[in-house]
Structure 1
Amino acid sequence: MSIKRNLSSAEITAAFKPRLDFPKYNVTLANFHGHHRVALQKMRSLAPQVNLVVEIRDSRAPISTRNGLFARVMGDIPRLILYSKRDLSSLKQETIQKWHPDGNALSVDCNSYSDVRKVLRIAKSMHANVTPAPPLGSHLLVTGMPNVGKSTFLNTLRTAGTSIKKKAAPTGGMAGVTRSISNEIKISSNPPIYIFDTPGVFVPHVKDERTMIALAITGAMRTSIVEPEIQADYLLYRLNLVHPDGKPYRSFLPHPTNNIEELLEAIWKQKLKPKQRGGGYNPTGAAAFWVDQYRQGRAGKVSLDNLDEFESASAIEEKLLDDFEMDFDEEARRWKQPFLF
């Protein structure tokens, strides 16, 4: 007679193999709204005043948070790429240098004065090299997908350059806090340099479900667009590829798992059930809690993108943008009034 026994956590960990593929979920691949289109139109009308475009991408999803629309709208204006939330990401500066051999990209923490001063030095150097000097000062325009840290960056930059601590732009943890382009905000008096804050603008269409899920996890859209359980499952998939020992969620579960339900139930029992008055297991609440932990840097540092796909993603992005048409003159006629800033 054979005797069955439960495997220990150590035995489960030793035998564990992470998933190499992620299932296809039925999620929408678009989240482009009317105010995104209006923001692009306003950016285009501001282009003659802009000396430098600062495009911010989220380093937790550095490929998914690119948006080729900005380059198309702003044309040949010099561009600086900032990979934000450095403190929450595993993205290395060496990888960024490989992607941008011309040196026009930096890894930054938008709350760090030392990091944003690097941008201020670049802006001042650019101003000094313009002959004759711009009579109304130099102008920067900050762009990016929703919730990549644009307003946080602007506030920190303004304080670093002028010592003014009052916020110039509202901030928040989800998309849609900034809804319109700001008036010019002074970030330096000597030399005179100003910056425009802009709303986050989504791409017209993402390339696949994984990209949409990654954007949802970073907070680039409302939670209801992609179900929290799907976000949690993708986060588990990405974490297991880098940490097959399950260390990032070991405080909830003593062994690694590919089963998101097993992890969510463990999270619910430990973190949410003790706080509830009545009611049963809530997987949606557990999933939202865990994804939020990741956003705060408490669930491991892992890229939500396959970083080896950077070059191929560029070709896919261009193909998707080819299907997007925007007649700026027609847009101006449609709104029947000049844009005031």
Structure 2
Amino acid sequence: KYSQEFTMRNQFDFGPKPSFKHWFPRHMGKGLIKMRRVLKNVDCIIEIHDARIPISGRNPGLQQALSSKPYLLLLNKIDLVQFTKQHVDAIFEFYREKNVENVIFTELLSAGQCHPSVHRIIPACVNLVQKSHRHDREGDMDINIMVVGIPNVGKSSLIKALRAGNLGRKGGPEVGRNPGHTRAVMNRVQVSSNPAVYLLDTPGIFEPHITDMHVGMKLALCNTVHDHVMGPSMVADYLLYTLNKHRDFTYTKYFNLPGPIDCSLTLLKHISNETNQFQTRAVQTGTGKVHVKIPDFDQAASVFLKAFREGKLGNFLLDDVLNFE
């Protein structure tokens, strides 16, 4: 079970294909329609994506639908990734081939303050707008920017960070810890006074059809998909497979394991014992019902996933950007 018996899987067995009926909720389709409708009042698009999956999981339909406007891609949450220069160069090269020329790596907060990367965003957008033709808004002095992306990558948090950093004001769109918090195109929020810049928050919108199960699992690991869509135990199993594949065994120290392990059920049972995650079940015996405690694997899986998402199990890329086809 542990280090002396450790044998790592060569591939992940997904089993029966999970149901994706909750993958693309109705509000996402409505949101994209509304975004197209207000596009004439927008000067620039900011797309935010999770830097842990800089290539996987982006919704290409967003750029296709909104490409008539200047476009800036932010790869956010760099504090959860360990980059090398080779990685960064490969990501820039990938996007150059996709005609995405403007890419900024960002972290919204650092030690409770706006990260320096945040201060590059508004000047970059203003520069793009000044170099473009504002067909519908030539006489307007203010700049409207629409913030788009898949769920839970930091769209609402970006608006709050820019508002605090540039105007010294709190407030802005409410931020949720789980994906899908913003469900409608919101009113514009001022984030700069010189020049006057307003940002428009939008709901996270996935690509309607995900065919690569590895991409779906990476999205789940980054908490852009509700865990119940895949099942928390399955997502936790994929996380364990991924950590072992990266030869990153930080989880063994964090959860007081004697060594690396490849069986997720054994791991989750151990976490249940360590964190007291149990559920009570009634069992019928010859003398009547007896209540017994059994490990709560879903709760243990949530503990495991939360540790990863907070960077406590190591920071690394989930995409193999050096060998991406």
Do the structures match in fold with TM over 0.5? yes
- TM class by shorter chain equals 0.7 to 0.9
Match of 1:177 in 2: 181
Q: CA RMSD in A?
A: 2.6
CA distance in 2, matches of 1:212, 1:131: 38
Residue 19 of structure 2 is aligned to residue 28 of structure 1? yes
TM-score, normalising length from structure 2?
0.83
Change beyond 3 A, Cα 1:138–1:281: same
Match of 2:163 in 1: 158
Change beyond 3 A, Cα 1:159–1:237: same
Tell me the matched-pair count.
Answer: 299
Please identify, of 292-301 and 96-105, the stretch whose mean Cα deviation from structure 2 is larger.
96-105
Unaligned 5+ runs, structure 1: 1-6, 313-341
1:287 to 282, 290, 301: 301
Change beyond 3 A, Cα 1:44–1:284: same
Contact 1:67–1:203, Cα closer than 8 Å, also in 2: yes
2:226 to 211, 222, 227: 222
Residue 239 of structure 2 is aligned to residue 235 of structure 1? yes
Change beyond 3 A, Cα 1:283–1:162: same
CA distance in 2, matches of 1:139, 1:309: 38
Contact 2:20–2:229, Cα closer than 8 Å, also in 1: no
Contact 1:29–1:208, Cα closer than 8 Å, also in 2: no
1:10-36 deviation line (CA, Å, top 9, x unaligned):
xx2xx7453221112321346112111
Matches within 5 A, 1:256-271: 256-271=260-275
Change beyond 3 A, Cα 1:272–1:61: farther
Unaligned 5+ runs, structure 2: 281-290
Aligned residue for 1:100, secondary structure, equals helix
Residue 147 of structure 2 is aligned to residue 142 of structure 1? yes
CA distance in 1, matches of 2:88, 2:108: 16
Contact 1:120–1:161, Cα closer than 8 Å, also in 2: no
Change beyond 3 A, Cα 1:109–1:239: same
1:78-126 deviation line (CA, Å, top 9, x unaligned):
2111111111123443333232346411211123342211101212333
Match of 1:331 in 2: none
CA distance in 2, matches of 1:259, 1:99: 35
Change beyond 3 A, Cα 1:207–1:8: closer
TM-score, normalising length from structure 1?
0.80
Cα deviation for residue 174 of structure 1 reads 0.9
Change beyond 3 A, Cα 1:274–1:40: closer
Please identify, of 38-47 and 15-24, the stretch whose mean Cα deviation from structure 2 is larger.
15-24
Matches within 5 A, 1:72-83: 72-83=64-75
Structure with greater strand percent: 2
Contact 1:238–1:302, Cα closer than 8 Å, also in 2: no
